[in-house]
Structure 1
Amino acid sequence: MKYFVDEHSIVRKIWGKADTILFIFAGAAAEFALNKAVDWLYFTGKLPADPLGRLFSTVAYSRQILFSEQEAALQSIDKINAIHKGVETARGAQIPDWAYRDVLFLLIDLSIRSYELLEQPLTTAEKTEVFNVFNRVGERMQLKGLPTNYPEYLKMRQEHLEQNLINSAFTIDLYKQYRKHLGPLRYQILKQAQLLTVPEQISRQLPLGKIAWLWPVLKVYKAVKNFKPGKFFRNALLPNQYKAQIIGMDEALVIN
């Protein structure tokens, strides 16, 4: 059986750990809030009504593709395309090509950053593999202007960070919604996770603070995370409505 991502790929190691996925989620929540095309996510009303659920669904869909058999993964990507086309039809406009690339680029970047933060540095070959996998997703989505290799991606990623981010009324509203849905404690932890994960261009524009007090806590957590005290601590901080879903991400996922 052929899978979309090889069973021994570093991408599966990254996306097969709930801890890593949570940091990818945190970083995505920050970058989505600043993206100039975030109005598209507000158009359907789903993002402001349930920002955590909307972002978790994006992460969950990505994970489903990465662990699926080849044809099933391609069908999932095609379904995403169809959903986007439906939104475009309803609004009478097209989602900009750069907005699609932004999402793809942030998934590559945050996959690498989150794994290195929680596990160990990746080699250039492993980073290239992460790029290649997500670039194949973009190619299936028929995105225009995709980079052809990892060095070109790094250059384009930097350009996107410099050109496509803005602190707007949507940014302010989204962070209000994050706080509302998470509560004060989890909201502060979210911002700390973002401070440790996101590129500097993002942290400069958001109210994340300057002191990364979560870092020493994270160092202790990394030492015990595979034992019961570590898992208990993490699970206790999870929102109840997503707890089972997140814990399940630690389990082997095979979709035929």
Structure 2
Amino acid sequence: MRKIWGKSDTVLFIFAGASAEFALNKAVDWLYFTGKLPSDPLGRLFSTVSYARKIVFAPMDDAHKTIDSLTHIHAAIEKERGFSIPDWAYRDVLYMLMHYSITSYELLEKKLTEEEKEEVFNVFFRFGTRMGLKDLPATYIEWLPLRNAGLRDDLQMSKFTTDLFRQYKKQLGPLRYFLLIESQKLVVPERVRELLNTSNLSLLTPLIPLYKISRRVKLDSFLKSFLYPSAYRSQINELDMAPKI
């Protein structure tokens, strides 16, 4: 997990995929209730990354404190709105991060073994257990059909989907938005592509091997400086530095 979450390009592919899928989730209206996601989707991305990395890289006790803080924040939002975020929505986000952690690493690095996928699953399982989520599967193999069921039952095109993609484009600009869409195609499941009416053919596919070569010859930092929004460049570069434990 620390290898996966310790590189900026892998983390950004995780959130490229998640930005597509979460826009389709039937519970996305919860983030519209606070207004923070539609007004600043990139800011929310880095806030979420910060929490995730604190959990992944921290000692157990500190990771638990971060998870408890997240639980407290969500409880306050639920109290303000007057009803609870459905348990399936929490599980969907957990499963989403699990899926994109695996697919993004496999895209940019190498295929994971079944044991390594189980390790990724176990980290998120402990995360969900600490949050008090119910009906979590016990193993990676048990998780697979539940993941597919969530993709089938919990996603839909809505006005929130359309608005979020509009906000992505507004913040990123035409070129970076194009790269976001093409990146999403590389990691999202077929169900997500179907709902968004996009193909599984990405123009970035032939460029991925070239990008891997650029990393080996240390040219990737030049490419990143060009591609990343200047306002967030320092935050993105920090993703390549593992926090001290």
**Residue 17 of structure 1 aligns to which amino acid in structure 2?**
K
**Residue 246 of structure 1 aligns to which amino acid in structure 2?**
I
Pairing of 1:14-93 with structure 2 (within 5 A): 14-93=4-83
Matched, 1:120 2:110: yes
Q: Which moved more, 1:91-100 or 1:218-227?
A: 218-227
Matched, 1:182 2:172: yes
Deviation at 1:240, TM superposition (A): 1.3
| 1:168 equivalent among 140, 158, 161 | 158
| Distance in 2 of aligned mates of 1:169 and 1:123 | 39
Correspondence for 1:252: 242
With the length of structure 2 as denominator, give the TM-score of the two structures. 0.97
Deviation at 1:16, TM superposition (A): 0.7
Contact 1:23–1:197 (Cα < 8 Å) also in 2? yes
Matched, 1:212 2:202: yes
Unpaired stretches in structure 1, ≥5 consecutive residues: 1-10
Contact 2:57–2:243 (Cα < 8 Å) also in 1? yes
Question: 1:128-179 deviations in whole A, cap 9, x for unaligned?
Answer: 0000001100000000111111111111101000000001000000000000
Question: 1:175-216 deviations in whole A, cap 9, x for unaligned?
Answer: 000000000000000001100011111111115455311111
Correspondence for 1:146: 136
| Distance in 2 of aligned mates of 1:192 and 1:137 | 30
> What RMSD over aligned residues (CA atoms) do the two structures have, in Å?
1.1
| Distance in 1 of aligned mates of 2:216 and 2:42 | 26
Contact 1:14–1:111 (Cα < 8 Å) also in 2? yes
Secondary structure in structure 2 of the residue aligned to 1:205: helix
Question: 1:19-59 deviations in whole A, cap 9, x for unaligned?
Answer: 10010010110011000000001000001100111122112
| Distance in 2 of aligned mates of 1:208 and 1:57 | 28
Contact 2:186–2:200 (Cα < 8 Å) also in 1? no
| Distance in 1 of aligned mates of 2:174 and 2:27 | 28
**Residue 20 of structure 2 aligns to which amino acid in structure 1?**
A
Matched, 1:108 2:98: yes
Percent identity for Structure 1 against Structure 2: 55
Question: 1:103-152 deviations in whole A, cap 9, x for unaligned?
Answer: 10011110000000000000000000000001100000000111111111
**Residue 47 of structure 1 aligns to which amino acid in structure 2?**
L
| Distance in 2 of aligned mates of 1:156 and 1:127 | 16
Matched, 1:223 2:213: yes
Contact 2:57–2:242 (Cα < 8 Å) also in 1? no
**Residue 253 of structure 1 aligns to which amino acid in structure 2?**
P
**Equivalent residues, number:** 245
